[in-house]
Amino acid sequence: MDKRQAMGSWLSGPKAAAEEMGVDFGYRGEQLGLPEEGPGSIAPLGRRFGAIFIDWSLCALIAYGLIAHRSVHSTNNWALVVFLVLSILTVGTVGFTPGKRILGLRLIAEDGGRLSFPRALLRSVLLCLALPALIWDRDGRGLHDRLSRAIQVRI
């Protein structure tokens, strides 16, 4: 092995090095019994970020116009409260937020059914804490999804 190969494997991380040695990790969602692509497959990261951006923008607009009395300083605090309420109510009832619906995503339970209201509440609270959402597993699910036993899939 020359120095460029060693440097490339070090920069690429342990997963790339293991794949070069012949380890097959499969596709995201395979361990959960989901299809690789199309409806029912794990939601792509870009769409998930887009959905949360849409939801946060909507909540900030509601907070700015209706609750914070057009005060920029208190808008973000109120937007977090609106986001929590929006997330609990929409995920707990229909399985998606407005941003998820626009981008064709849905939350389901690990068994394939609807996410129950208490699990939607747990997921929403953990999402508002932000840190659990930044810790992912190999299927691309955040810690908030794992603890609430939820999966974001394509519609």
Per-residue pLDDT tens digits for 62-109 = 999 999 988 888 999 999 999 999 999 999 999 999 999 999 999 999
Instruction: List, as one string, the DSSP characters of 91-133.
Output: HHHTS--HHHHHTTEEEEETTSSPPPHHHHHHHHHHHHH-GGG
Per-residue pLDDT tens digits for 16-35 = 777 777 777 789 999 899 99
Residue with tokens 């597993």: 137
What's the pLDDT at 2? Answer: 54
What's the pLDDT at 29? Answer: 92
143 against 13, higher pLDDT: 143
Per-residue pLDDT tens digits for 28-58 = 999 899 999 999 999 999 999 999 999 999 9
Residues pairing with 110 in the sheet:
none
Q: What is the mean pLDDT of the chain?
A: 90
